[in-house]
């Protein structure tokens, strides 16, 4: 990824304002539904999402082959200690 040193905030806002406005609208809608109208079924527990996210991260790390290339280096360093 190439990033310039002088990244201006105007450029960032120009390319991302639609997505930001969309996410603000969805967050406002969910807040309104939960707090004002009492739709308490919108609550999502953290534990299942955390477990799935961790499993996905481990799966993607292992499937990329990075660990397969890196793991022998870790073993050789630890065996020297």
Residues 37 and 49 in one domain: no
Model confidence pLDDT, tens digit, residues 30-71: 999 999 998 888 888 889 889 998 998 888 777 666 656 666
Q: Domain range for residue 61? A: 45-81
**Is the full-model pTM beyond 0.85?**
no
Residues 22 and 50 in one domain: no
Residues 52 and 15 in one domain: no
Residues 68 and 80 in one domain: yes
Q: Which DSSP string do the residues of 17-76 spell out, in sequence order? A: HHHHHHHHHHHHHHHIIIIIS--GGG---HHHHHHHHHHHHHHHHHHTTHHHHHHHHHHH
Count: domains in the chain? 2
Residues 30 and 3 in one domain: yes
Residues 51 and 31 in one domain: no
Residues 14 and 1 in one domain: yes
């Amino acid at each position: 990824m190439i990033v310039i040193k002088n990244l201006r905030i105007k450029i960032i806002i120009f390319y991302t304002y639609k997505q930001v406005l969309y996410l603000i609208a969805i967050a406002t809608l969910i807040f309104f539904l939960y707090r004002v109208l009492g739709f308490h079924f919108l609550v999502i527990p953290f534990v299942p999402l955390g477990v799935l996210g961790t499993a996905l991260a481990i799966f993607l790390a292992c499937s990329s082959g990075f660990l397969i290339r890196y793991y022998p280096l870790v073993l050789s360093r630890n065996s020297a200690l």
